[in-house]
Amino acid sequence: MKKDKVIFFDTTLRDGEQSPGASMNLKEKLLVANQLAVLGVDVIEAGFPVSSPGDFDAVETISRQIKTSTIAGLCRASEKDIKTCWDAVRYAKKPRIHIFLATSDLHIKKKLQKTRTQILNMAVKAVKYGKSLCSDIEFSAEDAGRSDMDFLCKVVEAVIDAGANTVNIPDTVGYTTPVEFGNKIAEIKKRAPNINKTIISVHCHNDLGLAVANSLSAIENGARQVECTINGIGERAGNASLEELAMALRVRPHYYNVCHSIKTNELYNASKLVSRLTGISVQVNKAIVGANAFAHESGIHQDGILKARETYEIMNPSDVGVPESSLVLGKHSGRHAFFKRIKDLGYRLANKESELLFEKFKNLADKKKTVFNEDIVALIEEGATSCCKETFVLDYFSAASGTGTVPTATVKILKNENDKKQAKPIVFREAACGSGPVDAAYKAIDKIVKMDIKLTEFSLRAVSSGEDALGEVFLKAKYKGMVYSGKGASTDIVEASTKAYMQVINKAIVD
């Protein structure tokens, strides 16, 4: 018997990006979108177009470039939102407008200050208008997990009649339990007479740690689309984890009796990419993609694994794309080998970007005996995290510190003016002392840019192994109430730190 397909709707670029400090620029979003396409994601929710010009541009660009997945944009139930969303996704080969409107009494009365009748009319009107623009419409009943069942079923029936192809039942605040949520899906299937004309979707949050369990329970009860994110990132405690859902359905095919299009051997690459671009680390004991997911320390477990892997592993590491080896290229490697490695790592770059990356690779190879896959990925993502428009550019820095000496730093920064008549950038030089060389460099930069930036998070890690390992610095900082992230990589940790700080400054200026 032919199995039903579960549609994977990834919202990493929309809901996932709403994690504090996880915002991505256009280049970063394109990297993620391309990886999601390689992963086999059916629907990519690329953003919330009306929320900002940057989000609109990102959704439009992704719509133009990604051809294999449906590209969705989120919008509220208003004509302005819906039209803006359509203007952003209309270039996609398979566009979708995703309309949401709250249906719980709490949201209706406290947040929207409307009546149930008004909400029902708004939902129908919004779906009909969206349908006049786009053939693929999804309607989300926000806070469906806490909505009155009679009213929820009434809304579901009405929006299907109005033209909704997909009806999403979100557990917006992660309130429900698996049995309860599964019963809700079953009840909707039973009580909405036209439910067979649409696909039931679910969007579960993880506030009680039940997002994946609730989503799987929904699938058991008839849902055929799951909305999720890479690494489970998202608002508050996050969303259902794509990798956990995909592998649960793969490992237990006879139990769930469904299929999907996710290429699970790309899960590890997707997880690493999103983690590095957002700065949100994956906990070591995270299912599927955590560092310890396939690690065994117990002697009994090790003995069992050596005799038969299945004794303590229900998945092969290769099933999720965990690499066997990370050793790659060196200073004598040529362009063809290097470009092939980029492709093997899952990246698709324009010729100009590839050439610039090759130059960075050769410079790094002169400093290191061995260049690892992780080093190359760090170089790719460092380029992606840089601002499209850099007002301040670090041209030179020098730092000195040691026992019994005061740490000092000198920086030379170029400022590109917006005035097109300004042919050459303005040159600034400053020096400062600090508690350490990084602190000194930051204080010297602060003298030049004159921005009240407050560092809130600073982390340093070795990208690869060895005493000459590439160091990667990730930081977050506040400026005028907004949180910005920056990342820099270098064999010199002061240089990496300075690059990361310059990124924060340029992002803050662009906004």
Q: Which helix (H) or strand (E) holds 339?
A: helix 335-344
Residue 261: left if φ>0, alpha if ψ -120 to 50, beta else—which one?
alpha
State how far the Cα of 365 lies from the Cα of 372, in Å rounded to an integer: 10
- 268: Cα separation from own chain's centroid: 14
Q: Identify which of 440, 438, 452 has the alpha carbon closest to the alpha carbon of residue 500.
A: 438
Domain annotation covers residue 324 = no
Domain annotation covers residue 363 = yes
Domain annotation covers residue 270 = yes
H helix intervals, 259-311: 267-278, 299-307
CA–CA–CA angle 357, 394, 483 (5° rounding): 90
Tokens of 197: 């004309």
Residues of the chain with pLDDT under 50: 324-327
Per-residue model confidence (pLDDT) at position 487? 85
Q: Identify which of 250, 192, 261, 193 has the alpha carbon closest to the alpha carbon of residue 216.
A: 250
**Is 373 found in the same domain as 348?**
yes
**Is 373 found in the same domain as 467?**
no
Instruction: Check if the beta carbon of residue 98 is closer than 8 Å to that of residue 45.
Output: yes
Per-residue model confidence (pLDDT) at position 327? 41
The b-or-e profile of 52-76 (16+ CB within 10 A means b, else e) is: eebbbbbbbbbbeebeebbbbbbbb
- Write the DSSP assignment of 343-372 as a string of letters: HHTT----HHHHHHHHHHHHHHHHH-S--B
Rounded to 10°, the helix 351-367/373-385 angle is: 130
**Is 262 found in the same domain as 351?**
no
Range of the domain at 379: 335-385
What is Dmax (Cα atoms) for the chain?
80
**Is 98 found in the same domain as 49?**
yes
**Is 357 found in the same domain as 424?**
no
Per-residue model confidence (pLDDT) at position 154? 98
Tell me the pLDDT tens digit for each residue of 364-423. 888 776 677 778 887 887 666 665 567 898 898 999 998 888 999 999 999 887 655 556
pTM comes to 0.77
Q: How many domains does the chain have?
A: 3
Domain annotation covers residue 288 = no
**Is 230 found in the same domain as 170?**
yes
**Is 169 found in the same domain as 48?**
yes
Per-residue model confidence (pLDDT) at position 326? 40
Tokens of 222: 């008839």
Domain annotation covers residue 181 = yes
Q: How many residues would you count in the chain?
A: 511
**Is 248 found in the same domain as 133?**
yes
Domain annotation covers residue 292 = no
Instruction: Check if the beta carbon of residue 136 is closer than 8 Å to that of residue 96.
Output: yes
Give the HSE-up count for residue 16: Cα atoms under 13 Å, Cβ half-sphere.
29
Which CATH number do you get for residue 420? Answer: 3.30.160.270
Per-residue model confidence (pLDDT) at position 465? 65
State how far the Cα of 149 lies from the Cα of 110, in Å rounded to an integer: 19
Tokens of 455: 């560092």
Domain annotation covers residue 416 = yes
Per-residue model confidence (pLDDT) at position 423? 64
Per-residue model confidence (pLDDT) at position 325? 41
Per-residue model confidence (pLDDT) at position 463? 74
Tell me the pLDDT tens digit for each residue of 147-202. 999 999 999 999 999 999 999 999 999 999 999 999 999 999 999 999 999 999 99
Instruction: Check if the beta carbon of residue 482 is closer than 8 Å to that of residue 369.
Output: no
Residue with tokens 């999103």: 274
Which CATH number do you get for residue 202? Answer: 3.20.20.70
Per-residue model confidence (pLDDT) at position 302? 58
